[in-house]
Amino acid sequence: MDTKTLVVGQEVYVVSGWYLKKGKVVKVTSSGVEVQLALFEGPIRPEGPELIRFDTNGKACDSRDIYKGSMEWSGVPGTFEGGPWELADISAEERAAFERAAKRKVPSQ
């Protein structure tokens, strides 16, 4: 996905293997974007929101200064099974299915 078309506040999806998460663009720069993952996508950490930096091609890049997750490859966030996160270009039907599944999730205590 080309990040040059994204704007602050826009909802996006990130993918790593079979994992799909929802987020929102919080910063746009000439070198890419920063995305904040939706709160229901993981634990709320005292350090702040879950942020990931993506390059202009939509690939996760060094985010060690803003990412609080545990799976990283030299500062690049992702999942063990699927590798680094990428911005996903998914259809309206796929987004609707994801939204339905997210509503069924039970918040962790």
Are 102 and 108 in contact by the 8 Å Cβ rule? The answer is no
The pTM of the full predicted model, rounded to 2 decimals, is 0.79
Residue 14 lies in a domain: yes
Percentage above 90 pLDDT, the chain: 39
Higher pLDDT, 48 or 53: 53
Higher pLDDT, 64 or 107: 64
Residue 105 lies in a domain: no
Q: How confident is the model at residue 109 (pLDDT cuts 50, 70, 90)?
A: very low
> What single letter denotes the amino acid at residue 61?
C
Q: Which two tokens stand for residue 106?
A: 């039970």
CA pair distance 14, 105, nearest whole angstrom = 18
Print the domain residue range for 35.
3-89
- Give the single-character DSSP code of 64: T
Q: What pLDDT score was predicted for residue 76?
A: 92
Element (H, E) at 25: strand 19-29
Domains of the chain: total: 1
Asked if the model's pLDDT at residue 71 lies above 50, the reply is yes
Asked if the model's pLDDT at residue 41 lies above 70, the reply is no
Are 52 and 44 in contact by the 8 Å Cβ rule? The answer is no
